[in-house]
Amino acid sequence: MEHKIEKIPFELTIVGKRYRVRTNEAFQTISSLWDHAKKDGFMQKLIALSWEQPKCMLAGLLGICGKEAKITDEEFTYFMGVRYDGEVPSDMQYMTITHDTWAVIPNVTEAWNQLYEWLPTSHYELAKIPCIECYYPPNHNPENELWVPVTFK
């Protein structure tokens, strides 16, 4: 499995909106949430915020999955947002994530399928914070990545 290990030695502040997602319907529901965000202008609002203060890492649209990397509940919270250090817009919430070691896997859809095949053979285990889906601007390679919080075994 193609991946890299990245270090983020700082706290991530993310602004956006939370949505409840049924785990067994996650792929369809999350895709629909992004489609709706595009149609109702929320995606454009996130893009404007991210361009206001561009970041060197995780500089795209973000989907934060659940409260920790291993999702075992019937439902979880999906937080759609961007990194932003300014005042939180009145129609949004914020969250912070502090973790320094991430396995970064290209292609979000395939990454979710490959993650649990790679993990047992790696030197890492899942940390107890959420995974982050990162969707980059057009012409970025890769188009998207899954950032998985890990700790060394």
- Integer Cα distance of 111 and 103 in angstroms: 11
**Digit-coded pLDDT (tens) for 85-127:** 889 999 999 999 999 999 999 999 899 889 988 999 999 999 9
pTM confidence score: 0.92
Q: In the predicted model, is pLDDT for residue 53 greater than 80?
A: no
Fold for 4-152, please state it.
Answer: Multidrug-efflux Transporter 1 Regulator Bmrr; Chain A (3.20.80)
The amino acid present at 14, given as its one-letter code, is: I
